[in-house]
Amino acid sequence: MTQQRRIRVLPRTLVNRIAAGEIVERPASVVKELVENALDAGARRIRVKIEGGGLQKISVVDDGSGIDPRDMLLAVQSHATSKLEGEDDLWAIPTFGFRGEALASIASVSRLEIRSRTADAMEGARLVAEGDVLEGATPWTGPQGTTVEVSDLFFNTPVRLRNIGSPGTEATHVATRVRELALGNPAVSFRLISGGKESIFSSGSGDLAQAVAEVFDAEFAGKLLPLYPGETNAIMSGLVGPPDLSRARRDRQFFLLNGRAITHPAFSAVLDRAYEGFAPTGRHPVAIVILNVRPDRVDVNVHPTKRRVRFHDERELTGRLYRGVQGALLSMKVSRWDIPGGQGREDDAREFHPGAVLAEEQVAYGFARDDEKIRVDRVFENLEPLGQVLNTFIVARGPGGLYLVDQHAACERLYYDVALEASERPDPPAQRLAAPAIVELDGRTMELWRLWGDVISEMGFEVEPFGPGAVAVRSVPILAGEPAPAGLLLEILERLGEGASSTPSSTRAAAALAACRASVKAGEALGPAEIRGLIARMAALRAPGVCPHGRPTVIRIDRTDIDRLFRRA
């Protein structure tokens, strides 16, 4: 697999160019370094075992290429690495570790034992280091690959030890690292045994979705959407969560660059942006993004832990990610009514979690039928309204069954989109008023108007001061063909006050508010013409199947489910 390279001491000049820093912060960082070494050695199976959160003992066993006995001693010396030969190579790092610091750093704060055998050698070697004291390598026989055992981490650095969390906390950190590595390397089988119990197992199937199912759970994995295929390629691929999986924290966003987990705030920001209008502000999507970037197009040497990187083609990647997430969201299927006993769908393409409950149907991996017609971006084109029930829902006939449209949610989406467009396109259409509408503002809203006047006028309002406590509205924006009521100004100002954040997202917040304000309320009777008009206008939108808060605007009741309810099946 990986070509065997001899280990040598790095030239001094190169050592100096490498960002210095402490690598070994806690057990999880030891695990990460050791696993990355194993991956570099071409391991197909990696077993991590920890005791006491890794403070008592960490062992990493791999089936990789192993270390030549002659190199064993060199392996634990500072800046000894088999991965870089000269300065030019630093800009083309294809492997995980490269600084040659890892084993040496770990050895300096623990009792370290390495046992390894290469494929072509009958006999391997064993080496023990304790603090800075090295014993010589001794012959050892065992399976091909490398085993590294780290005991009594930080035994000689009591200060560091004091800053370490409880074994439970540390075990959690280790698990997080192993999970990331398993997601980043779906073709490698990972096993984490913590305190004698297996806590993570991945089979190394090579399929990202399956790796997600294995390290998290099948139901979660089953809901994820592949990044839009038109935007994925050898460089970027991955999975993104539908709106109902969005989270208050970004703890399930994984960016895996060449198998290594990185944090990249620019990508996180792109995810949030691509999600706007699909989930409430402040919610963050779940995403697992796999990046395979040519080593010479990325600088991983920004930070000693290598979690921060710099991309040469940052703009291209963020654009691709944005469009990939958008495409994934638009390709979602209309939510299907989850009828009890109606699980195990005939069109459930994910075979690895039979019986999982899918509240939301996701993009297909190749099943045909009417799938294109029930995507959230297409469904309204294919609906034929039949009437209204409970003054709240529109009943419609559509591909493969019966559809219920939530009229309020649908209107919210409609008005959100038009209001958003209003704020994004310069010089929007606006109607002059016969008599200026006087809107009374208190001190706070008056201040907000002074602050946000530009945004307000971008939306199509023409507002002038009118005495100390009021403004005169001379023009109002046209929303969905009709002039908006002047009173909307006050509500937008109040909403801008609540947000008090940066301009772009607040404009969107104002758009969302305008949407709610102008929406048809639930409980309002609609005539046949109004219903047809609403459905037709929804069909023209980009993402009509989801309301701006991420709730569905329409649900599907399939023929098979109706049959089941009537016990016809």
Partner 1 sequence: MKVITDQSQLHAGLQMAYRAIAGGTAHPILTGVLLTAQEGILHISATDLEKSIEAVIPAAVEMPGSLVLPGRELNEIVGRIPGGDIEISAPEDRHQAVITWRASEFVLNGYPPDQFPALPLADGSGAFSVSAGDLVRALSKTVFASSTDDSMPVISGVRLRVGDGRIQATATDGYRIAVSEMEAPGAGGQVMEVAIPRKSVADLVRVLSSAAGEEDASVVLSENHIFFDLPSGVKFSTVLLEGQYPDVLSMVPAPGDYRTRAHFDRAEFAGACSRTALLAEDHRGARPLRLHLKEDRLIIRASSAELGEAYDEIEARVDGPTLDILFQAKYLIEGLRNIGPERLIFSLDDDEGAARMQGEDDSEFYYVVLPMKPRE
Kindly tell me which residue out of 123, 482, 498, 563 binds partner 1, with binding defined by CB under 8 A.
Answer: 482
Angle between helices 503-518 and 488-499 (to 10 degrees): 140
Among 479, 493, 496, 516, binds partner 1 (CB under 8 A): 479
- Shortest distance in whole angstroms from residue 329 CB to partner 1: 23
Q: Interface residues for partner 1 in 179-238 (CB under 8 A)?
A: none
Question: Out of 451, 478, 539, 541, which residue is the one contacting partner 1 (CB under 8 A)?
Answer: 478
CA separation, residue 211 to residues 125, 214, 542 (Å)? 34, 5, 32
Check: CB of residue 174 under 8 Å from CB of residue 25.
no
Question: Closest separation between CB of residue 472 and partner 1, Å?
Answer: 12
> CA–CA separation, 491 vs 518, rounded Å?
11
Residue number with CB closer to partner 1 (133 or 435)? 435
Considering the complex, state which of residue 11 and residue 483 has its C-beta at the smaller distance from partner 1: 483
As measured in angstroms, the least distance from the Cβ of 205 to partner 1 is: 47
Other CB atoms closer than 10 Å to residue 554's CB: what's the count?
Answer: 28
Report the residue number, 120 or 421, with the smaller CB distance to partner 1: 421
Least CB distance from residue 537 to partner 1, whole Å?
8
Range 161-167 contact pairs with CB under 8 angstroms and sequence separation of 24 or more:
161/55, 164/26, 164/27, 164/55, 165/26, 165/53, 166/53, 167/52, 167/53, 167/54, 167/55
What is the rounded distance in angstroms from the CA atom of residue 47 to the CA atom of residue 35? 9
CA distance 296 to 329: 32
**Of 12-20, 158-166, 476-484, 542-550: span binding partner 1 (CB under 8 A):** 476-484
User: Which is closer to partner 1, CB of 6 or CB of 521?
Assistant: 521
Interaction mask 519-548, partner 1, x per CB under 8 A? ------------------x-----------
Question: Coil, strand or helix: which one is 105?
Answer: helix
Q: What is the closest distance, in whole angstroms, from the C-beta atom of residue 475 to partner 1 in the complex?
A: 5
Number of residues engaging partner 1 in binding (CB under 8 A): 29
**Residues between 451 and 470 with contacts to partner 1, criterion CB under 8 A:** 460, 462
Beta carbon nearer to partner 1, 296 or 482: 482
CB of 273 to partner 1, least distance (A): 22
Is 106 within 8 Å of 28 (Cβ atoms)? Answer: no
Cα separation of 255 and 235, whole Å?
A: 12
409, amino acid identity: A
Place of tokens 């990696």: 46
Closest CB 402 distance from partner 1, rounded Å: 25
Residue from 11, 131, 295, 485 in contact with partner 1 (CB under 8 A) = 485
The span of 75-83, 262-270, 482-490, 496-504 binding partner 1 (CB under 8 A) equals: 482-490
Nearer to partner 1, 235 or 478 (CB): 478
- Residue 117 contacts residue 123 (beta carbons within 8 Å): yes
Encoding tokens for residue 219?
């139901």
Rounded Cα–Cα distance for residues 289 and 254 (Å):
6
Residue 296 lies near partner 1 (rule: CB under 8 A) = no
CB of 333 or CB of 508, closer to partner 1: 508
Whichever of 34 and 418 has its CB closer to partner 1, that residue is 418
Q: How far is the CB of 481 from partner 1 (least distance, A)?
A: 3
Site string for partner 1, 408-447 (x = CB under 8 A): ----------x--xx--xxxxxxxxxxx-x----------
The amino acid at residue 536 is: A
- CA 520 remoteness from chain centre: 34
Nearest to 98 by CA among 298, 386, 353, 360: 298
Q: Answer positive or negative: Cα dihedral of 295, 296, 298, 302.
A: positive
State the CB neighbour count (10 A cutoff) for residue 49: 18
Tokens of 338: 């989850």
DSSP bridge pairs for 138: 126
Residue closer to partner 1 by CB (options 123, 482) is 482
Q: Which is nearer to partner 1, 301 or 475 (CB)?
A: 475
**Closer of 346 and 427 to partner 1 (Cβ):** 427
Residues that bind partner 1 (CB under 8 A): 418, 421-422, 425-435, 437, 460, 462, 475, 477-483, 485-487, 537
